[in-house]
Amino acid sequence: MSKLELQGVSFKYPRGKRMIFQNVSETFDSGKLTTVEGESGAGKSTLLTLLSGLALPTKGTLLMDGEPIRDLTLYRRNVAATVAQANHLFEGRTVLENVIYPLLLKGADPARAKEKALELLSEVRLDPELASHFPAECSGGEQKRVAFARAMALQNPVILADEPTANLDKGTSRVIADILVDLAHEKGKLVIAVTHDLLLPELADARLYLRGGVLEHE
């Protein structure tokens, strides 16, 4: 069992006027899907930015298994994998190359990396014919699946997703929701998804609501 912890975290953007969070403490567990809801501008994406290791809290600490995170580069490489709302796929690379990249980064040999990437694309149920296509040649839902396969390729214990079902139809949202649930329940990952969707929180093990700079349990 691993856990990710926010301990007395406050955050203000360098150019921001207000504190987005005030003294937030929360624990997230492996094997669970946690959803974070809240109004637009409440700070949900900012929360994921901190949990992703893209910024340090203004005050307070982020801990993994009781250890304070000090090296954000190592944290991003070995602990947290993020699926951004806009996916941020490498546009000049094929779908397969996008998923191979983190595997090579982690030292897999090229043949094994290709095999593993194809496995991951099949896990997210992407049409195998799309492996040689570029992201721009894929639909929004297909791109989201590629983004998940790429995040999974890092083989990190924490998976974070910012509005993973935004702009997707009901059926495609369900496919993405099933991937998130599977990552938590079958693969034992610690999964946190920010969402406006009604479906994801219904499937979540823990439901949080961000309001007035504070995380509340639903």
Ligand X SMILES: Nc1ncnc2c1ncn2[C@@H]1O[C@H](COP(=O)(O)OP(=O)(O)OP(=O)(O)O)[C@@H](O)[C@H]1O
Binding mask 133-172 for ligand X (x = CB under 6 A): ----------------------------------------
- In whole angstroms, how far apart are CA 152 and each of 11, 22, 68, 157, 214? 28, 32, 24, 9, 30
Residue 41 binds ligand X, judged by CB under 6 A: yes
Question: Which of 13-21, 55-63, 131-139, 172-180 is the region at the interface with ligand X (rule: CB under 6 A)?
Answer: 13-21
Please report how close the Cβ of residue 65 comes to ligand X at its closest, in angstroms: 26
- Looking at the Cβ atoms of 93 and 207, the one nearer to Mg ion is 207
Question: Which of 40-48, 87-95, 105-113, 176-184 is the region at the interface with ligand X (rule: CB under 6 A)?
Answer: 40-48
Please report how close the Cβ of residue 162 comes to ligand X at its closest, in angstroms: 7
Are 193 and 164 a contacting pair, CB within 8 Å? yes
Residue 45 binds ligand X, judged by CB under 6 A: yes
Handedness of CA 186, 36, 60, 72 (dihedral sign): positive
User: How is 49-66 classified by DSSP, letter by letter?
Assistant: HHHTTSS--SEEEEEETT
Please report how close the Cβ of residue 165 comes to Mg ion at its closest, in angstroms: 13
Please tell me the distance from the alpha carbon of residue 196 to that of residue 163, in angstroms, as a whole number.
Answer: 7
Beta strands in 12-153 (DSSP E): 21-29, 33-37, 59-64, 67-68, 80-83
Please report how close the Cβ of residue 34 comes to ligand X at its closest, in angstroms: 16
Please tell me the distance from the alpha carbon of residue 115 to that of residue 57, in angstroms, as a whole number.
Answer: 39
- CB-facing half-sphere around the CA of 120: CA atoms within 13 A: 28
The only residue of 44, 114, 150, 189 in contact with ligand X, by rule CB under 6 A: 44
Place of tokens 């994406």: 45
Question: Which of 13-21, 36-44, 96-104, 184-192 is the region at the interface with Mg ion (rule: CB under 5 A)?
Answer: 36-44
Residue 217 binds ligand X, judged by CB under 6 A: no
What is the token pair recorded at 71?
A: 């090296």
Torsion-angle region of 142 (φ positive above 0: left; ψ -120 to 50: alpha; else: beta): alpha
Residue 46 binds ligand X, judged by CB under 6 A: yes
Residue 45 binds Mg ion, judged by CB under 5 A: yes
Residue 13 binds ligand X, judged by CB under 6 A: yes
Residues lying near Mg ion in the complex (CB under 5 A): 44-45
Residues lying near ligand X in the complex (CB under 6 A): 13, 15-16, 20, 38, 40-46
